[in-house]
């Protein structure tokens, strides 16, 4: 199977601190241009996004898919999964870095114990392609629990 490619384009004007830009999701076109600034990365978003938020979105989606697949493969298809990914962007001795990604997942999975759900979530974290892209560079943790 040939690899799948997806394309996004960013444009930027000005210097880092006062400049601004936008990201466009070229392959899907599902969203309008998404404005980005340095302030939206390091201060309040102010209605703009950041690379870190986009990576968090990608990680939340990827992790949810991996967990859904693992649960169904184990005979416990999920009724619903809600994953929130929070990336931490901070200054380190080596410069600005994404240092942590926290995945918080809540699920409705009939017939599954809480302990088994946590184990499935940990396995999904290790198998998720976005987790694997971050692995070794970003600390990733998972907070998993069943709802209800």
Together in a domain, 98 and 142: yes
Radius of gyration (Cα) for the chain, nearest Å? Answer: 17
Q: Model pTM?
A: 0.94
The answer to whether the CB of 138 falls within 8 A of the CB of 101 is yes
Together in a domain, 102 and 142: yes
Together in a domain, 61 and 36: no
Residue pLDDT tens, the chain, 148 long: 688 999 999 999 999 999 999 999 999 999 999 999 999 999 999 999 999 999 999 999 999 999 999 999 999 999 999 999 999 999 999 999 999 999 999 999 999 999 999 999 999 999 999 999 999 999 999 999 999 7
Together in a domain, 30 and 84: no
- CA dist 103 and 60 (Å) reads 7
What domain range is 127 assigned to? 51-146
Together in a domain, 133 and 61: yes
C-alpha dihedral over 104, 110, 112, 118, to 10 degrees?
0
Together in a domain, 56 and 37: no
């Amino acid at each position: 199977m040939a690899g799948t490619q997806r394309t996004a384009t960013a444009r930027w004007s000005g210097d880092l601190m006062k400049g601004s830009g936008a990201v466009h999701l070229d392959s899907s076109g599902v969203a309008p241009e998404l404005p980005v600034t340095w302030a939206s990365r390091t201060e309040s978003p102010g209605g703009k996004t950041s690379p870190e938020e986009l990576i968090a979105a990608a990680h939340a989606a990827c992790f949810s898919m991996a967990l859904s697949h693992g649960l169904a493969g184990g005979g416990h298809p999920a009724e619903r999964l809600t994953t929130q990914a929070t990336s931490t962007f901070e200054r380190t001795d080596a410069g600005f870095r994404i240092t942590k990604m926290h995945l918080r997942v809540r699920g409705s999975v009939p017939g599954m114990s809480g302990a088994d759900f946590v184990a499935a979530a940990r396995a999904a974290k290790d198998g998720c392609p976005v987790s694997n892209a971050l692995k070794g560079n970003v600390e990733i943790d998972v907070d998993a629990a069943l709802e209800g």
